[in-house]
Amino acid sequence: MPERNATTRPPSRVGTWFDHHLYSFVASLGRIARRPWATLLTVGVMAVAFALPLGLWLVLNNVARFSGDVQRSRVVSVFLKPQVDVARARTLAQSLRARGDVGNVVLRTPDEGLAQLRAQGLGEAIDAVAGEDGTGNPLPSVLVVTPRGDEALLATSLQRLPEADLVQHDAVWRQRLDGWLRFGGRVALVLAALLGIGALLVVGNTVRLDIQSRREEIGVLQHLGASDGFIRRPFLYLGAWYGLAAGALALGLLTLAWLALQAPLADLAARYGSRFTLAGVDPQQGAWILLGATVLGWLGAGVAAGHTLRQTRPTEA
């Protein structure tokens, strides 16, 4: 008797829970494989809903990266007076580097500016301005100052320098670009929320239809005393599979778009002397996207299954 009891001991609750999770995991995948066209339609709609906000987010990231995270627009150019020689300009640049509100200072001498203009094909205009002998250099020394704090305050203080003739900085353009980037980020969040809700509804409706098609089977389980969690578990995995497949397809669509745009954009940037290349989704971002899509599918299935099962659960007379 003891030996027979040992051999017929029922499995533990943990083992039963694990076995049912494993069964639900495999059975939900098999249910998807048995309906390839319906699955492809559901996954395709969800993938488009995921790809649209993700694509906008990638565009904004590339715009911010193309503008150098808007750092180059913060540069303040100080044009020194014509009578300030190069030695005095170097001394002034060294003193500015010691200031706490200055990140870096680059000195562009008149000779460097003249060489740059000649390289751009403006040699004849420079010779005309310099005089008939061509020995004069009308260009002043320029200090390119990178601010460490607020560039508007720095530009105001640099304008007070006795050596400064003109101070230029693109604060207005930078503020406008910052505003557009913030607006675009908010649009991406709103779009992601709306399309995320749409993806939840798509999964929820698909799971609801699946529950309705198995209504008799579910009714038998409910009469036998099965809990809603037990019955809902396979549908949760079904929604997770939908979300994971949709996330993978969305990444595939974004990758195709990246491949289609990368070469033309690189060629366009090269014509402007830039080495800018379009950045896509890196592996870490891709993993988070897949995880988020899977969670959305799980949540959509859970909401739909829970609501439907509460309506179909028999009540005692």
The CA-based angle 128-130-131, given to 5 degrees, is: 70
- Report pLDDT for 252: 92
Q: Which pLDDT value is given to residue 164? A: 84
Interval 111-162: pLDDT, tens: 787 777 677 666 566 666 555 444 566 778 888 888 877 777 778 888 888 8
Q: Which ranges of the chain have pLDDT less than 50?
A: 1-6, 69-70, 132-134, 316-317
Residues 78, 155: Cα–Cα separation, whole Å: 9
* 28 CB burial (10 A radius; 0-12, 13-18, 19+): buried
Q: Residue 288's pLDDT is what?
A: 92
pTM score of the predicted model: 0.59
pLDDT at 12: 63
Q: Domains of the chain (ranges plus CATH)?
A: 12-69+176-312 (no CATH), 76-169 (3.30.70.3040)
Q: State the pLDDT at residue 83.
A: 85
Q: What pLDDT does 291 receive?
A: 92
Confidence (pLDDT) at 113:
75
